Amino acid sequence: MKKLIFTLMMMAGLALLAGTAMGQSKLTPVAGSTWDYTVQDLPTDGDQVTFSVNQSSTTPGTTVNATVGAVDATVGATTTGQATVTITWGTTTGIYNLWIEVTGQGTGTCSNRRFKPIDIQPNNFEVSIVAIGTDNDGVYDESDWTLASAATQDCPVFATGAEFNMDNTESDGSSYVFYRVDLDDSNTGTWEFEVTFTETNVTAIEYYDEGTTSWSATSPSGLAATTTEVLVRATLTNAPAGYTALTGTLANVSETYGGSTFSNGGSPTSASIDINAMPDLSGISFN
């Protein structure tokens, strides 16, 4: 009689080569992530192996988590003693059972089955942006990130080199405008983003995160989850009087873990700051 009783050996195999990726486990994957599940110590005489997912603890079958897709996968005859299925978990959270069923060969053969509970976790990845304010020297709260608070309006830099009796106006020179991008994430994957502006007189966009020592014109990528704040510095050149609503918008926000890429679920995704008008001193003189 064929040996289809895998009992303790099978249950050891249903440890599913338990692994982790960036803080999550394949037994507690984040919704939307993709994992390979491998069962070992199977019979090696060509028995048929089938995987399925549902919430039943008594019967294997078609998944009830519709967003998982079809994971009723007949691996086929196995002679290697192991079988693997790849699953992209859907957005529905909760416990789902990953079933494996092994069927013997020939007439009147039997099947044996086991399941492993998989606890789907919510995708908690949120990135938001706030406006901080303007500054002349380009240095803002780099040593104390927690004091970087939101601002709704500020003044541009005064005219550079504007001596008396020279025809300089308030639109001369440039000003730094600061934003802060915040990460709220319990998935602990690596993340990235960039900030864009539609204003044509934003001539440079630079980034400064907690793990660096200087400003960079390259948008951040591969940021660790421990980096939860990034400063953004936009150079505003020759802002006209009464210039308002300089808006920084998050773009290409994503997080990577568990073999999958996730988009941003956070808010707000843009932040504006009014750049106020300065007094026009272009016509003053000194006696």
- Looking at the structure, do residues 104 and 142 belong to the same domain, yes or no? no
- Whether 150 contacts 94, CB under 8 Å: no
Q: How far, in Å, CA of 6 to CA of 25, rounded?
A: 25
- Looking at the structure, do residues 200 and 181 belong to the same domain, yes or no? yes
Range of the domain at 37: 7-120
pLDDT band at 129 (very low <50, low <70, confident <90, very high): very high
Residue 281 lies in a domain: no
- Looking at the structure, do residues 219 and 95 belong to the same domain, yes or no? no
Residue 73 lies in a domain: yes
Q: Which region among 14-23, 122-131, 257-266 has the lowest average model confidence (pLDDT)? A: 14-23
Q: What is the DSSP letter of 216?
A: B
- CATH number for the domain that contains residue 173: 2.60.40
- Looking at the structure, do residues 211 and 271 belong to the same domain, yes or no? yes
Helix (H) or strand (E) holding 260: strand 260-263
Is the pLDDT at 233 greater than 80, yes or no?
yes
Q: Which of 99, 120, 141 is the last residue of a domain?
A: 120
Residues of the chain above pLDDT 90, percent: 18
Q: Which of 96, 120, 144 is the last residue of a domain?
A: 120
Residue 14 lies in a domain: yes
The DSSP annotation for 89-103 comes to --S--EEEEEEEEEE
- Looking at the structure, do residues 22 and 102 belong to the same domain, yes or no? yes
Residue 220 lies in a domain: yes
Residue 49 lies in a domain: yes
Residue 265 lies in a domain: yes
The DSSP annotation for 173-190 comes to SEEEEEEEEEEEESS--E
- Looking at the structure, do residues 42 and 134 belong to the same domain, yes or no? no
- Looking at the structure, do residues 131 and 70 belong to the same domain, yes or no? no
Which pLDDT score is estimated for 168? 41
Number of structural domains (the chain) is: 2
Q: Which residue has the higher pLDDT, 6 or 18?
A: 18
Which pLDDT score is estimated for 169? 41
Nearest alpha carbon to residue 175 among 234, 242, 93: 234
Q: How far, in Å, CA of 102 to CA of 109, rounded?
A: 11
- Looking at the structure, do residues 141 and 154 belong to the same domain, yes or no? yes
Give the N- to C-terminal CA distance of the chain in Å, as an integer: 113
Residue 81 lies in a domain: yes
pLDDT band at 241 (very low <50, low <70, confident <90, very high): low
Which pLDDT score is estimated for 70? 43
Backbone φ and ψ for 251, nearest 5 degrees, come out as -145, 155
- Whether 148 contacts 88, CB under 8 Å: no
* Longest CA–CA separation in the chain, Å: 113
Among 14-23, 26-35, 72-81, name the most confident range: 26-35
Mean pLDDT of all residues belonging to the chain: 75
Is the pLDDT at 90 greater than 70, yes or no?
yes
Q: Which of 88, 120, 152 is the last residue of a domain?
A: 120
* pLDDT tens-digit readout, 164-185: 444 444 444 567 888 999 998 8
Q: What is the DSSP letter of 19?
A: -
The DSSP bridge pattern shows strands 190-196 and 174-185 to be: unpaired
Mean pLDDT of 210-224: 89
- Looking at the structure, do residues 22 and 80 belong to the same domain, yes or no? yes
Place of tokens 């405008």: 177
- Looking at the structure, do residues 153 and 105 belong to the same domain, yes or no? no
pLDDT band at 4 (very low <50, low <70, confident <90, very high): very low
Q: Which residues contact 230 (CB under 8 A, 6 or more apart)?
A: 180, 181, 193, 207, 208, 209, 210, 220, 223
Residue 280 lies in a domain: no
Q: How far, in Å, CA of 208 to CA of 206, rounded?
A: 7
- Looking at the structure, do residues 63 and 36 belong to the same domain, yes or no? yes
- Looking at the structure, do residues 161 and 206 belong to the same domain, yes or no? yes
